[in-house]
Structure 1
Amino acid sequence: MSAAGSVQVRRDLAAGRFEILVDDVVAGYADFADADGVRTFPHTVVASEFGGRGLAGRMIEEALRVTHEEGLRVRPACSFVQRYIEKNPESAELA
């Protein structure tokens, strides 16, 4: 990964997903859907050329932070999101 400032997480409301960008290129995304005060994360993807950099974890950390700020609960239908919450107990209050 290049300079620290080259990685950012954004939410694409039209696509219904959080995205992580490296040098302005979408490196991965986490789909979500909101219903009845619960945000479900069914799918998380990081492109293979960006793998092994911890990008999925950074993206999910930000997605969970935003979800918590919005007062929503989390349904981690995606196995990556489920494992992230298990490994980061401070996120467990959302699930």
Structure 2
Amino acid sequence: MSESRPIGTYTADLADGSPVGRVDFVDSPQAEGERVFFHTEVDRRFGGRGLAGLLVREVLKDSIRRSVTVVPVCPLFARHLAKHGDEFVADGGKFRQPTPGDLALVKRATA
């Protein structure tokens, strides 16, 4: 028997409540306060407007507020933190590189 972890989602919505973007994550069962971000998606109709970057920045701000350690499996999160990780840490954020265990967690959660 394997443990099933629910997938959490941040969403960006239009004023009428219609979703236009999302960031999916799973909380690590091995480490309290670690959140593995594995997918970012923006509706094609809204592509090219910087919405994905806005989503990443807002999620990172929320991670600081919640004192959550970010584990960037999503390539967009990984690129952002590679470029702006020092700023994120200076603002009070925490992140670490993903491990094979994190990748396995995402695979189980999305199976």
TM-score between the two structures when normalised by the length of structure 2? 0.66
In structure 2, the partner of 1:94 is 94
Q: What are the Cα deviations for residues 1-35 of structure 1, in whole angstroms up to 9, with x where unaligned?
A: xxxxxxxxxxxxx8611111133321110001112
CA distance in 1, matches of 2:42, 2:53: 10
Task: Please tell me the root mean square deviation across aligned C-alpha atoms, in Å.
Answer: 1.7
Q: Which residue does 1:20 correspond to in 2?
A: 12
> C-alpha distance in 2, partners of 1:70/1:48?
30
Which residue identity is paired with 1:81?
Answer: F
Instruction: Give the superposition deviation at 1:55.
Output: 0.5
Name the structure, 1 or 2, with higher relative contact order (CA <8 Å, separation 6+). Answer: 2
By percentage of residues, which structure has more strand?
A: 1
Distance 1:22 1:88 in 2: 27
Q: CA deviation at 1:94?
A: 2.1
Name the CA shift for 1:34/1:15 in 2 (closer, same or farther; >3 Å).
closer
- Structure 2 residue aligned with 1:83: 79
2:23 aligned with 1:30, yes or no? Answer: yes
Which stretches in structure 1 are left out of the alignment for 5+ residues? Answer: 1-13
Residue 43 of structure 1 corresponds to: 39
One-letter code aligned to 2:55 = M
Structure 2 runs not aligned, ≥5 long: 1-5, 96-111
| The structure with more radius of gyration | 2
Q: Which residue of 2 aligns with 1:70?
A: 66
Asked if the contact 2:26–2:37 (Cα under 8 Å) also holds between the matched residues in 1, the reply is: yes
1:57 alignment counterpart? 53
Q: Which amino acid aligns with 1:27?
A: V
TM-score, normalising length: structure 1: 0.76
Of all paired residues, the percent bearing the same amino acid is 33
